[in-house]
Each structure stands twice: as C-alpha cells, then as structure tokens.
C-alpha cells in the first residue's frame, strides 16, 4: 500500500520533514497494561508470550489504542526479546519479575555457538501479525515495525533478564570484548533480517530501541552500540511499495551522542525527556526528524498540567515540520487513559498554529 493510499500519512510526512497540518503523535508502549481492554485480551490469551504469538490477539491489542485515541501511527504489538528467544535462549516471564532467559550467555562455548536464526521460521508469527495488522488498519494510519538494538538485546541475553547496573555484560565488555563483539555481530545480522522481513510483511516505518546503550561509557557506546546500529541501518530495506521506509533510532540516555547518531543515515532520532527539544533541533534538526520527548510520568498529573507541558514542548520546537510528538520512554502501567486522551488532543490542537 503506497503512502498516498493512507487516510492519514501525517506521521510519515513529518518523518520526511515535509509540511504537515499539525504535529503527529504516537506513544511508545501505547498498546499496554494501562488500558483495561488490553488487560482483558491478555487474560484471554493466557500469557504475554501467547499474546505475542497469536496474530489475532496481536492485531486486537495493536488497534485498541487507535480506537480510543486519535493517534497518528500504530506500532506492532510484540516484544524486543522475541529475537533472542528465536536463538534458543529460553525466554519466559516470571510473575512480578519481568522477562528472564533460561539459558543466558555466560560461557565462551555457548557464546561461540550463537548463530543467526532463520527468522522466516522462528519468527514467522511476528510477520503474520504485521500482515494481519496492516489488513485490519485498512490505511487508517501507518504501521511501525521495531526491534531492540544489538547491544540492548545483548544485555538481556548475557544478564539473563533486566539489571540495575549491567555488571555481567560490562565485565565481559572490558575482560573479553571479543566475545561481546561476536554476540553483537550475530545480533546485528539477525536484526537486519528481522526488520527487513517486517517491511516485506507490511511495516511502513521502523524503530530501533537502544534502551540500555545510554548505560555505556563514552567511547564504549560508539564501539559496542552505535557501530552495530550503523550496521543495521546500512543493511535495511529503505524502499518498499514505491515509498521510503523511514528508520528511527532511540538511545535512552543518549543525549550526548545525538550528532553521531544522526550521522548513521537514519531518518529520525527518538529523544528521552532529559534533553531540550529546541536545543536538539539546533544541533541535528537539519539532518533528521526528531521524536519525543514528554516525560511519561507527567501523564500522572492533572489535565491542565499535561496540556501546559505539551504547550511547552511544542513551543520549544517552534514553527515547522520534522517533529513527531511522543514520550521520552514507554507509557507507565498506571497511567489513566483519560490523561492520554488529554495529551493526544492537546498535541493536535496546540500544534496547528505552528504549521500554518
């Protein structure tokens, strides 16, 4: 489906820094636990992984936020950890503890055996979901596909789950950088295959989530995270159905390295809430579009405060296109849905004068 057939292509036009009537908005983790209808569907599915692996349920939850809010993009409902799960690490979700791997990469033998999986076999359920969602959207808004960055995936694969300080992966980085580079090489090649298959199935934009790259020291970020995202960007299908497939890079905590990120050839950078939107526009806004950067916790505030914060961010950006409004990270589990409605409506209403 070409961009011209979309009923709402404002998101893609803003990514291309073309004129738009208002600032588009979508939210990281917009389909999730803060919505009662999502919780009901997850209960029907039986588990989070069963929810991800059913194209019917994945389609249902992807569309739920679009039925509530006037969002300008949909994002595939899945999880970044489907990729290491496809490599045989044994993903499971411990109640109240988040994702875990039964077989984390701790010894050299296991690391050397790590290989690029056949994504068309191991992850076909994701591509089936992409195709199903595209059909169900029927051109309402564009569909975003995504993956974790090679480094962020490696953090989970080595730590065996989430971590406060990434001591295991960082120790490997300093003691055995050769082993970490092997993992990152396999991850980068897998992510390229995975994202390209999402495009083939119908994804119209791509986002790479480098959630933990910001935990790295200067110099180490460039070597162990950015270099592998650069490889991914270089390997991606950038045209499909006669249109460009834009790529968004997001390193949480990466505000110091935005110039280098913009130099990868990506189309947009995601920003967390720690950077000043207007200042970043001055730094890199002539190279890339920018996405962000409302503090997700501000969605717990009163509606007037939410609207005031939207107004502040829009004023910081100023006139003209190239800004996609989003959160600085994923929406919180206890966010009131009515407050999300306030946010979306405020963005659309308050941004129009900046595009006239």
Which amino acids are annotated catalytic?
Answer: 29, 33, 42, 79, 156
Q: Are 278 and 311 contacting, i.e. CB atoms less than 8 angstroms apart?
A: no
Sequence-ordered list of residues with C-beta below 8 angstroms from that of 223, at least 6 positions apart, any chain: none
How does strand 205-210 pair with strand 143-148? parallel
The single residue listed with the structure tokens 């692996």 is 53
| H helix intervals, the chain | 10-15, 36-45, 48-53, 55-68, 82-86, 108-113, 119-122, 124-137, 150-159, 167-175, 177-201, 220-221, 227-235, 258-262, 277-284, 303-317, 337-351
Lateral strand order in the sheet of 205-210: 74-75, 143-148, 205-210, 247-251, 268-270, 289-294, 323-327
């Amino acid at each position: 489906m070409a961009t011209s057939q979309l009923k709402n292509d404002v998101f893609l036009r803003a990514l291309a820094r073309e004129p738009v009537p208002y600032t588009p908005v979508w939210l990281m983790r917009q389909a999730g636990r803060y919505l009662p209808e999502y919780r009901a569907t997850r209960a029907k599915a039986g588990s989070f992984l069963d929810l991800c692996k059913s194209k019917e349920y994945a389609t249902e939850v992807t569309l739920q936020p679009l039925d509530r809010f006037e969002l300008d993009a949909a994002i595939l409902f899945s999880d970044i950890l489907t990729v290491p799960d496809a490599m045989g690490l044994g993903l499971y979700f411990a109640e109240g503890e988040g994702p875990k791997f039964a077989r984390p990469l701790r010894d050299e033998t296991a690391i050397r055996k790590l290989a690029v999986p056949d994504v068309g076999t191991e992850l076909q359920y994701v591509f089936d979901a992409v195709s199903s969602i595209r059909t169900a959207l029927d051109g309402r808004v564009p569909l975003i596909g995504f993956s974790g960055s090679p480094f962020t995936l490696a953090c989970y694969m080595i730590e065996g789950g989430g971590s406060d300080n990434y001591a295991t992966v960082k120790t490997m980085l300093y003691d055995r950088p050769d082993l970490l580079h092997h993992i990152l090489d396999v991850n980068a090649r897998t992510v390229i295959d995975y994202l390209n298959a999402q495009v083939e199935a119908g994804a119209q934009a791509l986002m790479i989530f480098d959630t933990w790259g910001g935990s790295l020291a200067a110099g180490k970020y460039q070597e162990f995270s950015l270099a592998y995202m650069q490889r991914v960007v270089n390997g991606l299908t950038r045209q499909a159905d006669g249109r460009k497939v834009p790529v968004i890079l997001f390193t949480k905590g990466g505000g110091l390295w935005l110039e280098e990120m913009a130099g990868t050839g990506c189309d947009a950078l995601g920003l967390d809430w720690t950077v000043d939107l207007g200042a970043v526009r001055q730094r890199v806004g002539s190279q890339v579009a920018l996405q962000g950067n409302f503090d997700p916790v501000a969605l717990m505030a009163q509606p007037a405060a939410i609207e005031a914060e939207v107004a502040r961010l829009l004023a910081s950006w100023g006139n003209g296109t190239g800004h996609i409004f989003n959160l600085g990270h994923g929406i919180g589990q206890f966010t009131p849905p009515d407050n999300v409605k306030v946010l979306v409506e405020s963005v659309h209403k308050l941004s129009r004068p900046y595009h006239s």
